[in-house]
Structure 1
Amino acid sequence: MKIETIRGLNGYDIPCVYNLSGGERRIVIISHGLGSSKESPTAKSIASALSEYSIGTFNFDFPAHGDSPVDGQMLRIPNCLNDLSAVEAHVRELCPEADIAYFSSSFGAYINLIYLATRTPAGKKSFLRCAAVDMPGLFRNSTSPEQYTLLKEQGYIMPDFEYLRPLKITREFYDDLEMHDVFKLCRPDMAVIGMIHGDADETASVVDARRFAQQFGARLTEVKGADHRIMTPSGLKQVIETAVRFFTVNEG
């Protein structure tokens, strides 16, 4: 994996890692979940697996995640969309002839769906792992009255989750979520979408994933007994195998 930092559209740097030789016909842009990073175990595993099929990968950190130089004040939905756009443009410069596709997890999947629905994406093929398709509802249901009071009084909260680095969530981020409902924004024809989801996911409900798949014609694979991370050996193996099949179909 090679390390690179690119300048984003929002004025800050975007840390990236990628696995490209220069001759790939397909490159998958990988987007991580909330509180994770470009070098998560799933991202690394997918990148390694796809390289065996001559498919390149390009991972990046969202604002306030991983090695990002900015804090949670910059964690806004438009900023995340701009970062994905900047990464995609850079991948186009590196490999102008390659087909672009997407692999994204949880919050990253939510961002990817908004990107596909509201921007002009170069790729039309996206695989979503444990997609947080109802991100606004997820935050509404998990925010306590005390946290809402803090949001009102100081403008942000610091959730007590096992994130890789402390994450400031601002009142503006909550407002962004309410303005971006993927069930209203997405269209069945915007991309070919594959999904994989644990049927015991208590973070992003599989019920919402089923509803999204039915409404927009996505192909949903459910992993029996798996939670939000799907990180058991058999679960991770199923994620990798399903994603590889999705990205290698019609490949020579």
Structure 2
Amino acid sequence: MLLVLKRRIKMEKFTITKDNGRRIPVLREIPQEADAVVIMVHGFTSCKECATGELLLRRMPAEGIGVMLYDQPGHGTEEAAEEPFRIRNCMDSLAAVEDYVVRNYPGKEIFYFASSYGAYLTGLYICRRPHAGSRLMMRSGAVIMPWLFLGAPGSEPDPASLAELNEKGFLMLGLPDAPQIRVPKGMFEDMSRPENDLLHRFGGYDHGGTEVAMVHGGKDPVIPVRFAREFAEENGIPITVFEGQGHSLNDNPDCPDKVADLAIDFFRG
């Protein structure tokens, strides 16, 4: 509520019910004159009320692009946090949000702005599911997401973490200076499946005509830029690298707006 009053805009908070009965908390700002809607897919340990969501709300509506923000399963402080953090559940949430936009805003073009794990998930989504989005901006895309959970290919799991996972059925994980998220054993199983290796499988799928662009930090300590460059080169994806920037692309205070500028240019073709 404080966010709405501070920004003095018409932003609505509501929930979308999934086919499994779970509810997705959503924030929406879609001006009547908007001819497109961008769906933000947040990263691991983040939520709809993140700095990137604020950036999109500040910049996109003025460009005629509405904004849909939502919490992924296992994240946020509302109903979504209670749903297990699994790839299928995450895809189902994105599909439900997209379906809501299609049904309630017919004729408006749909874009995705996806960060880190959200970019990984959306990459899988456009490979696997029927979808309506025409363009995907991958911000700090976690193209090596399984490595972050399982370790680099050929590496041995940490014995203590493996013992804890087998005992509890989950691990509490998070990025530095971020909340920890309950990651169930099933998510580690999801990550171990070859079809979820986005780095080496993305080019083998039909993406349904969805165009992709990437933006990455040259000093990203989470997803080293060499992997982002490799992914972009192998798949013919344009990539913009901000040298000196980390994973959040906000080390320089003007960088977030530069990212927004890139996204707007890309969405508008």
Give the TM-score normalised by structure 1: 0.92
Q: Which residue in the other structure is 1:150 paired with?
A: 164
Structure 1 unaligned spans of 5+: none
Runs of 5+ in structure 2 lacking a partner? 1-10
Partner Cα separation in structure 2 for residue 186 and residue 71 of structure 1: 32
CA root-mean-square deviation: 1.9
Paired residues of 1:30 and 1:102 also in contact (CA < 8 A): yes
Matches within 5 A, 1:89-168: 89-141=99-151, 144-159=158-173, 161=175, 165-168=179-182
Separation in 1, partners of 2:83, 2:119: 21
Relative to 1, partners in 2 of residues 1:91 and 1:160: Cα closer, same or farther, differing over 3 Å?
closer
Determine if the alignment matches structure 1 residue 237 to structure 2 residue 257. Answer: yes
Q: Report if aligned partners of 1:8, 1:14 keep a CA contact under 8 Å in 2.
A: yes
Q: Which of the numbers 171, 180, 197 marks the counterpart of 1:181?
A: 197
Could you say what secondary structure the match of 1:149 adopts?
A: helix
Distance 2:203 2:137 in 1: 15
What secondary structure is seen at the aligned counterpart in 1 of 2:151? helix
- Using the TM superposition, give the Cα deviation of residue 146 of structure 1 relative to its aligned residue in structure 2, in angstroms: 1.5
Residues 49 and 206 (structure 1), Cα distance of their counterparts in 2 relative to 1, 3 Å cut: same
Structure 1 position 74 matched with structure 2 position 84: yes
Structure 1 match to 2:268: 248
Q: After superposition, where does 1:162-241 map in structure 2 within 5 Å?
A: 165-179=179-193, 180-182=196-198, 183-187=200-204, 190=207, 191-232=210-251, 233-241=253-261
In structure 1, how many angstroms separate the alpha carbons of the residues matched to 2:186 and 2:82? 10
* 1:8 and 1:82 in contact (8 A); partners too: yes
User: Take 2:236 and 2:135, find their aligned partners in 1: how far apart are those partners?
Assistant: 13
Shift of 1:72: 6.5
Counterpart-to-counterpart distance in 2, 1:86 and 1:135? 23
How many positions carry a matched residue from both structures?
A: 249
**Is 1:21 aligned with 2:31?**
yes
Say yes or no: does 1:36 pair with 2:46.
Answer: yes
Identity across matched positions, percent: 31
Contact 1:63 1:72 in 2 (8 A): yes
Tell me, in whole angstroms, the C-alpha distance in 2 between the residues paired with 1:210 and 1:168.
30
